[in-house]
Structures are given as C-alpha cells and as structure tokens.
Copies of this chain bind each other. A is one copy, B any other.
Amino acid sequence: MQISTTKKLFPLVTADIALFTLIDWELHVLLVKRDNDPAPDRWALPGGILRPDLDSSLDETAMRVLKSKVGVDVRYLEQVTTVSGPHRDPRGWSISTAYYALLPGELVPAAAGTSVKAIGWCSPVDLEDQLAFDHGFLLSEALARLRQKVRQGALPLHLLSDKFTLTDLQRACEAVLGTRLDKGAFRRLIKDEPSLRLLPGKFLRGPQRPAQLFEAAPDFRF
C-alpha cells in the first residue's frame, strides 16, 4: 500500500468505542463487521476518523460515529486511553482515542449503518484475539475501566431504564463486575446514596411483591 507524504507527516486520528448494554441482565458489547478496507469482514469496535471540519472534539467524533455507523445516540461516554504508532493500522501512523459508552437495553440498535456490514452484541470477555486492529486491547482496557469505577462505588445507572428497582441496580452491577453480590451488603452500601431518588407511590408490580421504583437524581454523575 502506498502512503503519501501527507499521511506520513500527519497521523490518522480515530475514535473507537466500546458500547456496553445489558441483554437478559448480562453485559454485552456492540461489534461491527467491517465493510471496507482495511480489515474487511473482520469484527471490530465501532469507530471512525476524526473530521476537523465536523467535530469540535474527539468526544464529538465518537458520538457522530456511533450515530452514523450503528444509529445510536449515547447517554454516557467516557474516554479510556489513547493508543498510537506506525503499525496498528495499515493506512499509516495512526492514533486512536478509545471510549466506553453505556446504553440501556431497550435502546439497543437493530440496524447497521455506514461502512458496516453487520452488527452483533457479544459478551465482552475473551474477545482479545478476535477483533481487527488492536481493538481487543481497547475493549479489555474499556471493560477494566468500567469495572474499576463500579468497584469503587459508581452506580451504572446509564445501563438501566429511567425507572428501576434496587434489584435491577444490583443486577446491573453484577453484570459489569462479572460476580454475584450479597443482597444485604449491597443494600447497606447504597442506603444513603445521594444519586438515587425514591419515586413515592411508584412500584413495579409482578408475580412477586411490589418493588419500589427509583430514578437517578438530577445531578447524578457516573
């Protein structure tokens, strides 16, 4: 492949995103099957090239790319790391800023967009060697960052519907961490959590006894 002088002097800059959601209370990550060179037909994280004429930051690149390639407006997006070098993309010296994003299960996209042959939701574990470029590494860094944050007490409310029960919240934390949590200990931990707001008189009714519904406090920050 021929690389022009311009490409030699100016690196290719991309944003790549690990978009997580819950399906049947298991953590899943969105993968795209690439349509174009390089790495056609390989599975990868959704991502795309920075457009200085369109984007006012790399965060905006990430949001624009998710919208165009997988039809998603994300609620929450966080930068994980930036990788760089001459060999990670055959088009030349390149930089990727990796993000993770969180999406409630009911907003899961159903259709592939621009430059995408197919989309699929997978368990994010043990994918390291199966993705194009260094996306396996980016995914494992993203998952590690998300887990670290939840382990330190952040509540992954962006994975839940607007209204949720404490059981939903515990399941979301368990899905992220990949471990079961003790119900009593979990309830004590979130007892006075200021980011949770009880919805008076609102309950989830089902076969079991009604469960109190909560919502995120207006100033909630993950």
A contacts, CB < 8 Å to B:
6, 8-11, 13, 50, 52-53, 56-59, 79, 81-86, 92-93, 95, 97
Query: Which 7 residue pairs are nearest across A and B when measured between Cβ atoms?
Result: A10-B10, A52-B93, A58-B84, A82-B82, A57-B85, A57-B84, A82-B97
Asked if A85 and B56 sit within 8 Å, CB to CB, the answer is yes
Give the chain B neighbours of A50 by CB distance below 8 A. 11, 84
Chain A interface, >50% SS class: mixed
Asked if B52 and A11 sit within 8 Å, CB to CB, the answer is yes
Q: How far is the CA of A85 from the CA of B57 in the complex (A)?
A: 4
Q: How far is the CA of A216 from the CA of B90 in the complex (A)?
A: 40
Selected contact of A13 from candidates B13, B57, B59, B85, CB within 8 Å = B13
Asked if A9 and B52 sit within 8 Å, CB to CB, the answer is yes
Q: Which chain B residue has the least Cβ–Cβ distance from A59?
A: B84
Q: How far is the CA of A83 from the CA of B60 in the complex (A)?
A: 12
Minimal beta-carbon separation of A72 from chain B (angstroms): 21
Q: How far is the CA of A95 from the CA of B11 in the complex (A)?
A: 11
